Structure 1
Amino acid sequence: MREESSRPGDTTGSTYTDLAAVTPEAYAIARTSRNLARERVGNVTLEDRIRQRCSVAVGDFAMADLMRFSGDPVTAGLAALDRRVPIITDIRMVQAGILKRGHESEILCALDYGEDIARERGITRTSAGFVALQERVEGAIVVIGNAPSALLVVCDMVRANIRPALAIGTPVGFVNAAESKEALRTLDVPSVSNAGTRGGTPVAVAAMNEIITIFAERAGYEGSGY
């Protein structure tokens, strides 16, 4: 599914950057996985890089064909990181998985906000957290890997003209997961998502981390591998 891909170029060719690899062995393992993904997925566009990383994250190259990109999300994400906007996540696993190197954005978790709203409205903690953070959602990067309810809240915010700079939505499951991602793709906001019920924290984190890696490469960030 490449109809929304960016222009060719600006990939890393045969080189490889991994901001998370802190030992030679870790870097060698990651580079081998990425080389396999390049062969199977392709390596023409920046979206291909996200497809590669998400496939490696779940150990299944079928994930590449499930990824969806709307509104030039890589460009939007890079510009947002340059502005040092906050990155707002649905759960702590996503917050913990996002790279802390290569950028200067604060990483927030919705679970740390809105407990009173969850009690009053009887909604999920993640949904309540995004409601509490709605003023910060404007212009931020939103990364949702687990909670369809939270993604639906963000979709409602976009309809109310509260627009994140980028929304990464890959919640997994059989209740509203596919539907929430479909809703996201109908909106006029840059987004990365995937089709169907698959997805989860690894996919959301992989997509965000690849955008951070591209940002760090362009900034000439050192300490990116061996």
Structure 2
Amino acid sequence: MSKESSRHADTTTNTYIDPGATTPEAYEISKTSRTLARKVVGNETPEDRVRQRCSVAVGDFAMADLLRFNADPVPATIRALKAGAYIITDIRMVQVGIQKKGHESKILCALDFGGEIARERGITRSSAGFIALREQLAGSIVVIGNAPSALLTVCGMINEGVRPAIVIGTPVGFVNAAESKAVLGSLDIPSISTEGTRGGTPVAVAAVNECITILIEGSAS
């Protein structure tokens, strides 16, 4: 099988695709990293795929054991992508990092919304943005890689009846990061998060991009 054709095959065995690798060198680097990750993390389930990619993203296989999955989040993400659901991020870095190929979802950043709410309430811009986007949250893919305050805000709206399709919440740090992810994990909604203070933008981006890759594989098979 040629290298080009192998990028569009079933990656549960020995083949591999990376839609973001646009040159042969980039593809080989990505493939080599993933081959190692498969051996260390395992390659049996969609969750393993996410564990692999997130571990590669941070250069630490310890990340695989910190990831938490609730209510079949990978299929939920793929269904939402197929439906063209909004992808709503907390910061620009997450928005920029998400793969643009292979789906029709519009990617919004909360920082572009809710400025007046932030000023009136004295809350973070990311939290205010999610409040302003309340109507767009239903059925959306929420991706929070940095802001615990935004994740707590989204969790509060979920408790009020707002239902995103999936929340990927991996904020990093020592102030409310662990607590916000614990709240997310307690909710009856599909989610991907990390335990404790570790996480960050690379983990959130890697998680959603792996779901996009799985979607592309299914479309090509």
Unaligned runs of 5+ in 1: 1-9, 222-226
Q: What is the match of residue 173 of structure 1?
A: 173
Unaligned runs of 5+ in 2: 1-9
| Secondary structure of the structure 2 residue equivalent to 1:219 | helix
TM-score, length of structure 1 as denominator length: 0.93
Measure the CA separation in 2 of the matches of 1:43 and 1:199: 22
TM-score, length of structure 2 as denominator length: 0.95
Q: Deviations over 1:102-149 (max 9, x none)?
A: 111000000000000000000000000000001001110000000000
Residue 74 (structure 1) shift: 0.6
Runs of 4+ aligned residues of structure 1 deviating over 3 Å after TM superposition are none
Q: Deviations over 1:14-61 (max 9, x none)?
A: 111101000000000000000000000000000000000000000000
Q: Are the aligned partners of 2:12 and 2:44 in contact in 1 as well (CA < 8 Å)?
A: no
Q: Deviations over 1:161-183 (max 9, x none)?
A: 10100000000000000000000
Q: What is the match of residue 20 of structure 2?
A: 20
Q: Aligned pair count? A: 212
1:80 aligns with 2:107: no
Measured on the aligned residues, the alpha-carbon RMSD in Å equals 0.9
Matched to 2:105, the amino acid is S
Q: What is the match of residue 63 of structure 2?
A: 63
Matched to 1:163, the amino acid is R
Residue 13 (structure 1) shift: 1.2
- Aligned residue runs from structure 1 range 38-187, under 5 A: 38-187=38-187
| Secondary structure of the structure 2 residue equivalent to 1:146 | coil
Matched to 2:131, the amino acid is V
Measure the CA separation in 1 of the matches of 2:11 and 2:21: 19
Q: What is the match of residue 203 of structure 1?
A: 203
Residue 12 (structure 1) shift: 2.2
